Structure 1
Amino acid sequence: MTLSRRLLASFATLPDGAGWRFTALVGVPALLAMAAIGLATGLYQPGGGDLSALPLTLLTVLFVPAIGEEAVFRGLMVPGKEAARPVLAIALSTALYVLWHPLEGFTFLPGARQLFARPDFLLATGLLGLACALTRWRTGSIWPAVLLHWAAVVIWKTWLGGPSLDSLG
C-alpha cells in the first residue's frame, strides 16, 4: 500500500467497539504514566488554567498538533491492522516523533526550545507517541490517536501548566 493510500485509509477507517476498548486500555495507562512523570519532575504544574482560552485551545490543538502530527507520525508511518509485525514501524514512528520536538524547538518554535529538550518532556512524549502508534495499528484508524493526542495536550495546556499558544512562537 502506498503512503498516500495508507494515510487516506487511516482517516477513512472508524474503530469498532473493540478498537475503542483497546484505545482505552492503552491510552489511560499512558496518560496516567505521563501524569506521574510530569507531576514527579515538575513538568506539570497543576492549577487553575485560563479557561477563557479553552475554546481556542480545543480547536487549535485539534489541528496542531493532534491531526497534523498524527497524520505524519501515525497515518503515514504506521501500518494498519493488516500488518502482522509492525514493531519496526511503531518504533521508528515513536522515535521520530520524540526527535521532532527538539527539532521543532530549535527551528519553528523557539519559545519551546528549553521545554522540548527536557528529558521528562521527551519521556512523556515517547509514551504518548507509543500509545498513539499502537492504537493506530490495532484499530486501523487515526482517530483514536488524534483523540488521545488532543486530550493529552488540552489537559496539559489547560490544567497542568502547559505553555499558552502564543508563548511558543
Structure 2
Amino acid sequence: MDILTLLQQRLLSASHQIPTGSAWGFSLVGLGLYALVALPWGWRGGLLRWEPVRSPAAIVSNGAIALVFPALVEEILFRVLPLPLPGSAIDPLRFWGWILGSLLVFIAAHPLNALIIFPDRKNTFFDPTFLTLAGLLGILCTAAYVQSGSLWPPVVLHWILVMVWLLLLGGAGRMGFVPPPAP
C-alpha cells in the first residue's frame, strides 16, 4: 500500500468513526484531569490569568477559527495521519514509538510556528509553561484518539481547551487577537 492510500485510509476511518458514549466519558474525565494539572501550573507559570473576552464578535470569530485551526488541522496532522489506526496489528513498542514521535513533533511545531509564521508570538510559543501545557494537551488528545479510534473526541477536547484559554484565561490578549484590557 502506498503512503497516500494509507494516509487517506487513516483519515477516512478516523473521520467516519462515531465515538461511543464511553469514548466521550473517557474524554470528559481526561478534560477534568487536564484542568486539575493545567490551571495551577499555568497560573504559577504566568501563562494564565483571568481575562475574559467580552466582545460577541471576537467570541464567535475566535470560536470558528479555532475549530478549524488549531483543533481540526492539528489533530489530523499530529494524531490521525501519523499514528497507526487504533486496533491495528502492530508491535506495541512500535506503536508507542509513533505516539512519542508524534507528540514531540506536535510540541516542536509551536516554536517553529513562531519562527516561521508568527514571530510576534515568540513569547508565548517559546514559553516553557505553554510548551508543557501543549505537551499535556497532546497526551490527552492522543489518548482520546487511541481510545476512540475517532477524530472527533480529540478535536472537541483541543477546541474546548483552546477556547477556554483564548476567551477566559488571557490567551486572546497574548496572541494579539483582541486589544489588551485597560488597566
- Map residues 105-124 of structure 1 onto 2, 5 A cutoff: 105-124=114-133
1:160 and 1:27 map into 2 onto residues whose CA distance is 16
Residue 58 of structure 1 aligns to a residue whose secondary structure is helix
Structure 1 residue 24: deviation in Å? 1.7
Unaligned stretches of 5+ in structure 1?
A: none
TM-score (norm 1): 0.92
Q: Percent identity?
A: 30
- Aligned equivalents of 1:166, 1:18: Cα separation in 2: 35
Query: Runs ≥4 in structure 1, deviation > 6 angstroms?
Result: none
Counterparts of 1:37-116 in structure 2, within 5 Å, are: 37-52=41-56, 53-83=58-88, 85=92, 86-116=95-125
The alpha-carbon deviation at position 135 of structure 1 amounts to: 0.7
Q: Distance in 2 between matches of 1:108 and 1:166?
A: 13
Alignment match, 2:181: none
Following the alignment from structure 1 to structure 2, what is the Cα–Cα distance between the partners of residues 81 and 111?
38
Pair 1:139-2:148 in alignment: yes
CA deviation after TM superposition for structure 1 residue 79, in Å: 2.7
Please give the TM-score of this superposition, normalised by the length of structure 2. Answer: 0.85
2:162 maps to what in 1?
A: 153
- Larger displacement relative to structure 2 (5-14 or 99-108): 5-14
1-side partners of 2:166 and 2:175: how far apart?
A: 12
Q: Which residue matches 1:6? A: 10
**C-alpha deviation, 1:165, in angstroms:** 9.3
Q: Secondary structure at the match of 1:95?
A: helix
Q: Which amino acid aligns with 1:129?
A: G
**1:164: how far off?**
4.8
Q: Distance in 1 between matches of 2:15 and 2:47?
A: 32
CA separation of 1:166 and 1:23: change in aligned 2, threshold 3 A: closer
User: Are 2:18 and 1:18 equivalent residues in the alignment?
Assistant: no
C-alpha displacement at 1:46, in angstroms?
Answer: 0.9
Higher alpha-carbon deviation: 131-140 or 1-10: 1-10
Shift, 1:62, TM fit: 0.2
| One-letter amino acid of the structure 2 residue matched with residue 47 of structure 1 | E
Amino acid at match of 1:16: T
RMSD between aligned residues: 1.8
Structure 2: unaligned runs, 5 residues or longer: 178-183
Partner Cα separation in structure 1 for residue 41 and residue 175 of structure 2 = 25
Q: How many residues get paired?
A: 168
| Maintained 8 Å contact 2:51/2:168 | yes
- Is residue 115–residue 122 contact of structure 2 (8 Å, CA) maintained in 1? yes
Larger Rg: 2
Q: What is the deviation of 1:20?
A: 1.1
Asked if the contact 1:80/1:138 (under 8 Å) is kept, the reply is no
